[in-house]
Structure 1
Amino acid sequence: METAQSRQQAAPGAFAAFARFVLCGGGVGLASSFAVVALASWVPWFLANALITVVSTLLATELHARFTFGAGERATWRQHAQSAGSAAAAYAVTCGAMVVLQQLVAAPGAVLEQVVYLSASALAGVARFAVLRLVVFARGRSQAVTTALPVHATVARASAPAGPAELCRAA
C-alpha cells in the first residue's frame, strides 16, 4: 500500500507538472472541440457546448488528479468543484478579453481576435495551473508534510523554554 509520503516523493516538479497540464488539458480540449461539433448535429449548439464543457472539465480534473500532479488517485468532489471554479474563472477571463477588444477596436480582424483570445487563454491557463497545483491538488503534498510535523513539533515543544504559567508552577 502506498503511503502519503511515497506519493509526495513521486509528485512531479513544477516543469513536469506544467508539461503534463498542457498535454492533458490540450488533449481534452482538442477532443472536446470535435465532440461539440459531433453532438451539435443532434442537439442545439449551446446545449452541446454546455454538455461537453461539463464532461471535459470532469475528465480533465480526473487526469490532473491522477497524472498531472502525481496523486495517482481519483479526484474528490471538492477538487472537482474547485477545478470547475477555476475553469469558470478562466472562461470569464477569455470572454472579458474579447469584450474589451470589441470596445477598443470597432472591427477587429480574425488575426487580432485570435491573438487576443489565445493570449488571454494562455494567461488564464497559467493562472489555472497555479491554482490547481497550489490549492486544489496541494493537499497530497501538504498531508505528507503535516504527517511529519507532529514529531518535529513535539521535539520542539519539549526543548522549548517553559512559558510563564509553567515557570510560576515550578517556583
Structure 2
Amino acid sequence: MEAAQSRHQAAPGTFAAFARFVLCGGGVGLASSFAVAALASWIPWSLANAMITVASTLLATELHARFTFGAGGRATWRQHAQSAGSAVAAYVVTCVAMLVLQQLVAAPGAVLEQVVYLSASALAGVARFAVLRLVVFARNRSQLAAVGCTARPVRAAVARAEVQADAVVLCRAA
C-alpha cells in the first residue's frame, strides 16, 4: 500500500485545485480566445473555435492531470475522452453565446466579442471544473483502475498530523 501511495501525490483541496484550474485552464482559455480571433480572420469563426477547442483541450487536460488535480502523471486516454466531452459542451456554450450576440448586435466590435466569448467560457469553465474534479480525475476511481482492486474509503492522517486525506484507498483481493 505504501508503494501505491508514494506513486501518487496527495490530491489538492477544492480551493487549491480551483486556483490551479483557473491558472492552467484560464491561461489556456485566454490564449485560446486570442487564437480563435486571429484564426477567424481566415476561416469561419465556428471552425476556428472548433480547431482551437481541440488543441486547447488536449493541452489543458495534460496540465490538469499533472498539476491541477494531482493525478501524478500524464492524462490517460479515458481522461482525455471524458475531458473532450466536457469541452464539447463548452464549445456549444461559446458558439451559442456568439450566435446570440450576432443576432442582437448587427456589427459587434472585437472588444464586445471578446467579452461575450470570455464570459461564456468562464461559465462553461466552472461547469468543467466540477466535471473534471468529480468525474474525470476522481482519485479513487483512477487508483482502483490502475491496481485492479476494490476500495474501502477511510479517514487517515497523511504525512503530518494536521493534514488529513479525505479518503485513502485500501486494496484487498477481490
Place the TM-score, normalised by the shorter chain, in its bin. 0.5 to 0.7
| Aligned partners of 2:53 and 2:91 also within 8 Å | no
2: distance between equivalents of 1:5 and 1:142? 17
Would you tell me which structure has more helix in proportion to its own residues? Answer: 1
Residues 58-79 of structure 1: CA distance to partner in whole angstroms, max 9, x if unpaired? 2221111121101112211111
Instruction: Give the RMSD, CA atoms, in angstroms.
Output: 3.6
Is the aligned partner of 1:147 residue 2:147? no
- Larger Rg over CA atoms: 1
In the alignment, the residues of structure 2 paired with residue 48 and residue 102 of structure 1 have an alpha-carbon distance, to the nearest angstrom, of 16
Aligned to 1:134: 134
Cα distance in 1 for partners of 2:152, 2:108 equals: 56
Question: TM-score when scaled to structure 2?
Answer: 0.64
Aligned AA for 2:4? T
Higher RCO, 1 vs 2 (CA within 8 Å, ≥6 residues apart): 1
Q: Percent sequence identity over matched residues? A: 79
Q: Matched residues in 1 for 2:128 and 2:80: separation?
A: 13
In the TM superposition, what is the alpha-carbon distance from 1:53 to its structure 2 partner?
4.4
Map of 1:4-23 to 2, 5 A cutoff?
4=5, 7=8, 10-23=10-23
Q: 2-side partners of 1:106 and 1:137: how far apart?
A: 42
- Secondary structure, aligned partner of 1:148: coil
Mapping 1:90-169, distance limit 5 Å: 90-138=90-138, 140-142=139-141, 147-149=151-153
- Matched pairs, number: 144
Superposed displacement of residue 89, structure 1: 1.2
**Residue 73 of structure 2: aligned partner:** 73
Cα distance change, pair 111–30 in 1 and its aligned pair in 2 (3 A): closer
Q: Give the Cα separation in 1 of the matches to 2:79 and 2:16.
A: 21
The alignment's TM-score, normalised by the length of structure 1, stands at 0.65
Bigger drift between 48-57 and 129-138 goes to 48-57
Partner of 2:169: none
- The question of whether the paired residues in 2 share the 8 Å contact of 1:65 and 1:73 is answered with yes
Q: Cα gap change, 1:53/1:124 in structure 2, threshold over 3 Å: closer, same or farther?
A: closer
